[in-house]
Every structure is written in C-alpha cells, then in structure tokens.
Structure 1
Amino acid sequence: MDSPVTFDRLYEGAKRFARLAMEAHAEQDQEVFLLHAGVSVERLAKAALARVHPTLLSEVNGKDDMLLHFAGAVSKPPARLRTIGASTAIGRLRKMDVLPQKSKSSSEADDLDGLIELRNGVAHLGTGDVEDYLGTFVATVDRLLPHLGQEASSFWESWSDAAQVVLDDRADRLQKDVRLRMNQARHRFRTRFADLPEGAVDG
C-alpha cells in the first residue's frame, strides 16, 4: 500500500496553504495568515526531509511503527499516522545546513521560530497584534525550494510577483542593516583606538 505521507502530497499541501496564507495576508487577516503560513512551512520542511529519505519524518520516541513504514519494511501503514512536528523538522534541516542556524549576527532563525510559535499560539489560544511575518515566510520558502528541486514560479503561481517583491524588499533592508552595522563597528573601532598615534591603526 502506498504511503499517505509522500513528498508529492507534502509539497502540494505546502503550495495550497501558501496560497491561502498569501490571500489572508492580502485581506490583512493576520491570524489566518499565521496559521496557513506555519502549516505551509511545516509541510515544505517535511517535504525537504522526505526527499532525502522518508525515515527523517519519524519521531524518535521509542516507537518504531512510522520508522518501519517509511523505510518500506512493512506493507501497511500504522493505524495512527504520526510524524515529527514543525520545530523538529526545522531543527533537522538546520543540522543539514538547509536552513540557517541560530546566530548572534542574524535573526533569520529566530524569526522562523517566532513564526512557528505564533502559528501554534493562534491555533490554541488566538493572538493579538503581532509582527508581520510575511518576509520570514517567503524567505523560508525561497531557501527550501532549491533543495526540493522546484522553481519559485511553480510554487507561488499567481503570487509569484508578490513573493518576489517581498524578497527584493527584504534583501534591500538586510543590505541597509549590514551597512549600518559596519558603520557602527567602524565608529566603535575608531573611538576605542582614538588615543593611538595617527597612522598606527588603519580604519
């Protein structure tokens, strides 16, 4: 029997929820956007793992039903299908250098974690006004698609232009932030060594 959890189903599900997320964002419905964007990222992350090997979707909790199923060692899937959650999938992709690691110099990993945490919060409790995570969502998809062997235009379809605008704006803001940080670093450097003789330090 074919597995109900496959790369194609995960990828197509990610596309469907991405479209719903973009529609919700256009309607300024932040809660619905967070729900759909989080599901889209989770399914796309799982698709990336499944493309390497389906066993990477298995939980490590002492039960081996899903592991045997994904390895093709049993003919029938378990009665209860259970795979890893979004945070675990993202964590495994970070170890594989597919998604960015947490670092002091970049907030990209923290932003993605924030998106997933807010998705979970909306699902359980609802949420008030929150930061706009559209840039984080689109940038994460953009990082994952090459590892899936998929084109952005095929994934985003009618939302391709909007997604590219988001990426361009994000890149521009990141470049400005880098230039600002470099300028600040030079200022701190010059201030620190201001008492040295002229020409002793280049900067």
Structure 2
Amino acid sequence: MSDSLSSESFFQGAKKAAHKAMDDHGRPEYDEFALHAGVAVEKLAKAVLVSKNPVYLVEPRNEDMLLHFGGHLRMDEGKVRTVGAKEAITRLRKIGVLQTDSDLDLLIAMRNGAAHATPDSTLAKGMITPLARTIETLLGDLGETLEPSGSGGRRP
C-alpha cells in the first residue's frame, strides 16, 4: 500500500487543512472554513481508521479496494478510493472512537455544501467548537495532544 494512505500522511493532510480552516475563520471566510474544517476532520478520521486497520478505509462498492487494502492486490495509486468523511465518521462511531454529534454532522454537511453549492456561511461561524472537540478526540485516539508544536504534541 502506498505511503499516501498511511496514518502519518493522513495526519499531515489533516494538519494542513486544520491550519487553513483556522486562517479562514480568522478572516472571516466561513464557507472556506467549513470546507477546510471538513477536510481536516475527514483526513484525521482516516488517520485513525488506518492506524487501527487499513481495511477500515475500504470503499464498500469496490471489492478490488478490499483486496488492495488487505495487501493482496496492487493498484495504480490514481485508482485507489477510500471512504468519504461521513462513512469514516460512521465507522469511528461504530468502534467507539467518536460519539454521536449532530454539530459534527452539520459541519460535514456544510463542508459538502461548500464544495458542491453555495452554503449559508453564517452557520459555519459557530462550527469551530465541534471542529476542536472532534480533533481533540481523534488526536487522543492516536496518542497525540493539542499541545502547541515544540511542547510534545503533534498538533493539527
């Protein structure tokens, strides 16, 4: 399996997106905040899933993905597909990493809206709390903290 599907790769992608989300929120570009916050959550959720078992990233509609993530089929990196944010969160809830959180669900819906339509960006302004709460939970599962860089934690 490629390094782009490693927990560390997803972690670094989440970190980059989380920084963009915070910059967006500070500007205030709330539709961009929703987009980048949702990407941060999705990538960090995938980092947690792959850290537990790479098969947990399998997109269910493609059995070749199951064989690829199971280590028995080599595929071109451009053809590899993983679960989306909503499914990754659902899986993390099923295994007890995340709890039901309607605000997180709304944030992901806003992220999808920002990517595919023109959302009501005023709603996104208040989504910083579910973002921080979710990041803290997922980092905790990875054995990381929200400590600033240089003080021990790998903060997104």
Q: Does TM, normalized by the shorter one, top 0.5?
A: yes
Percent identity for Structure 1 against Structure 2: 39
Match of 1:13 in 2: 13
Q: Shift in Å at residue 68 of structure 1?
A: 1.3
The Cα offsets for residues 137-192 of structure 1, whole Å up to 9 and x where unpaired, read as 000001111111222223437xxxxxxxxxxxxxxxxxxxxxxxxxxxxxxxxxxx
Q: Shift in Å at residue 69 of structure 1?
A: 1.4
Instruction: Give the structure-2-normalised TM-score.
Output: 0.88
Match of 1:133 in 2: 127
Alignment equivalent of 1:118, drawn from 107, 110, 117: 110
Alignment equivalent of 2:145, drawn from 142, 146, 151: 151
Corresponding residue SS for 2:42: helix
Letter in 1 for 2:20: L
CA distance in 2, matches of 1:84, 1:145: 20
Correspondence list, 1:1-203, <5 A: 2-61=2-61, 63-77=62-76, 79-101=78-100, 109-128=101-120, 129-131=122-124, 132-153=126-147, 154-156=153-155
Q: Shift in Å at residue 79 of structure 1?
A: 4.7
Contact 1:69–1:78 (Cα < 8 Å) also in 2: no
Task: Report how many aligned residue pairs link the two structures.
Answer: 149
Corresponding residue SS for 1:73: coil
CA distance in 2, matches of 1:18, 1:76: 30
Contact 1:66–1:78 (Cα < 8 Å) also in 2: no
Instruction: Give the structure-1-normalised TM-score.
Output: 0.69
Q: Shift in Å at residue 3 of structure 1?
A: 4.5
The Cα offsets for residues 72-93 of structure 1, whole Å up to 9 and x where unpaired, read as 1124446512110101000010
Q: Shift in Å at residue 67 of structure 1?
A: 1.4
Corresponding residue SS for 2:31: helix
CA distance in 2, matches of 1:49, 1:13: 15
CA distance in 1, matches of 2:17, 2:118: 19
Give unmatched runs, 5+ long, in structure 1.
102-108, 158-203
CA distance in 2, matches of 1:92, 1:55: 12
Match of 1:177 in 2: none
The Cα offsets for residues 24-64 of structure 1, whole Å up to 9 and x where unpaired, read as 11111101110000000000001110000000000222x22
CA distance in 2, matches of 1:56, 1:156: 24
